């Protein structure tokens, strides 16, 4: 079973700051997922990536397959970015995720105006 | 947004009663998942389905059963609810023809008293 570690667990920053959230996993994978969950809200998929870097607006996700590590960056952070960010990988490593995902415990991000 | 609904959205029930949660999708995706989310544990896989009548256990399947008689519906049953099953339950779907994302339903908050 894959194990996922996220850091930091909690992060408070000022509006405009550059944010980095880290994720490490134990078993080689085909792809890694970054998810967002607003307080009391549902879960939204932000990225799924298997190599290199992806960018959506102010969000950037990178992955280093050899080091089993991924980072999620937020540029020019805004209070609406306040949410829990969750990293997830296939439960059984390179199984592709078809048999489910295993998740980090999440990073609680608060952006203060 | 992917067409996924869950019902009920909130439920309070007593210990020892049976409970069934429903996940309904309009995307015709092959794979469906039930996860539970708890403070300190994050999201964990309960059961998943890889087709009609094809299901398998996840990480925390004890006390739960599932059924999938149609592509669009995936039912989660707690045969005899216990207080430890108080949680938020999320359904997710994916097609996994390639390396596809998982799309999450809005969640069901279940309280067992």
Burial of B99 (0-12, 13-18, 19+ CB in 10 A): middle
Write the residue in B33, B90, B104 that is nearest to A100 by C-beta.
Answer: B33
Q: Report, as an integer, the average pLDDT of A82-107.
A: 87
| Size of chain B, expressed as the number of residues it contains | 113
Determine which of B41, B51, B97, B101 to mutate to test the interface with A (most A C-beta atoms within 10 Å): B101
| pLDDT for res B52 | 93
* Widest distance between CA atoms in chain B: 43
- Whether the per-residue pLDDT at B98 is higher than 50: the answer is no
As given in the structure block, the two tokens for residue A4 are: 């996922």
**The tokens 């029930």 sit on which residue?**
B13
- CB contacts < 8 A, A to B, total 63
Which pLDDT tens digit goes with each residue over B16-55? Answer: 999 999 999 999 999 999 999 998 899 999 999 999 999 9
Q: Cβ(A89)–Cβ(A29) under 8 Å?
A: yes
pLDDT above 90 as % of chain A = 75
């Amino acid at each position: 079973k894959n194990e996922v570690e996220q850091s930091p667990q909690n992060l408070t920053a000022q509006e405009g700051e550059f944010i980095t959230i880290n994720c490490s996993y134990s078993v080689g994978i085909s792809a890694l997922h970054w998810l967002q969950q607003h307080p009391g809200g549902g879960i939204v998929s932000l990225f799924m990536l298997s190599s290199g870097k992806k960018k959506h607006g102010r969000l950037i996700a990178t992955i280093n397959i050899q080091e089993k590590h991924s980072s999620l960056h937020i540029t020019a952070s805004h209070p609406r970015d306040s949410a829990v960010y969750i990293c997830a990988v296939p439960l059984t490593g390179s199984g592709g995720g078809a048999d489910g995902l295993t998740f980090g415990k999440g990073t609680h991000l608060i952006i203060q105006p | 947004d992917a067409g996924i609904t869950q019902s009920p959205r909130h439920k309070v029930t007593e210990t020892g009663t049976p409970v069934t949660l429903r996940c309904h999708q309009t995307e015709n995706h092959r794979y469906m998942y039930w996860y539970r989310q708890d403070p300190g544990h994050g999201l964990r896989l309960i059961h998943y389905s890889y087709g009609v009548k094809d299901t398998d256990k996840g990480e925390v399947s004890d006390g739960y059963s599932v059924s999938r008689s149609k592509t669009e519906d995936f039912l989660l049953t707690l045969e005899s609810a216990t207080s430890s099953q108080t949680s938020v339950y999320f359904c997710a779907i994916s097609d996994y023809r390639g390396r596809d994302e998982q799309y999450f339903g809005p969640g069901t908050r279940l309280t067992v008293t």
